[in-house]
């Protein structure tokens, strides 16, 4: 069965520092992978998505993610974090049938 693991429940970084949020997936075949962000009291919004092809995917607001089939990973990165990035980040994997499985999320805290 497909699954997603986000090993870090909470990550704290200083504003302006670089960021990596980890995601490991379990999926038979080539997955469709997504990163969503949830701001306080809002629904989830798409940051970026991966289709088979270029392993590095660019998203909104300077986010990017790199797919690794050998490591079963899809880590999210940002070169310089802004205070407005304070949110919860979810990694997700999609079946071809359309069913989406989410990880438990990583809470990102940004220190001034």
Partner 1 sequence: EAAVTQSPRSKVAVTGGKVTLSCHQTNNHDYMYWYRQDTGHGLRLIHYSYVADSTEKGDIPDGYKASRPSQENFSLILELASLSQTAVYFCASRTGFSNERLFFGHGTKLSVL
Contact set with partner 1 (CB under 8 A)? 4, 6, 9, 32, 34, 36, 41-46, 49, 51, 90, 94-105
What minimum distance in Å lies between the beta carbon of 97 and partner 1?
Answer: 7
Residue 60, phi then psi, degrees to nearest 5: -85, 160
What minimum distance in Å lies between the beta carbon of 80 and partner 1?
Answer: 25
What contacts 81, CB < 8 A, 6 or more positions away? 13, 14, 15, 16, 17, 18, 19, 108, 110
What minimum distance in Å lies between the beta carbon of 69 and partner 1?
Answer: 17
9 vs 70, which CB is nearer to partner 1?
A: 9
| CA–CA separation, 70 and 61 (whole Å) | 28
């Amino acid at each position: 069965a497909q699954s997603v693991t986000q090993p870090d429940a909470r990550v704290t970084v200083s504003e302006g520092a670089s960021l990596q949020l980890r995601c490991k997936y379990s999926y038979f075949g080539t997955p469709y992978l997504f990163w969503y962000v949830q701001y306080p009291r809002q629904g989830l919004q798409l940051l970026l998505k991966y289709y088979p092809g270029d392993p590095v995917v660019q998203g909104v607001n300077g986010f990017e993610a790199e797919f690794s089939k050998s490591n079963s990973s899809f880590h999210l990165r940002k070169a310089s974090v802004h205070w407005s990035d304070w949110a919860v980040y979810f990694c997700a994997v999609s079946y071809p049938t359309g069913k989406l499985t989410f990880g438990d999320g990583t809470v990102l805290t940004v220190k001034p």
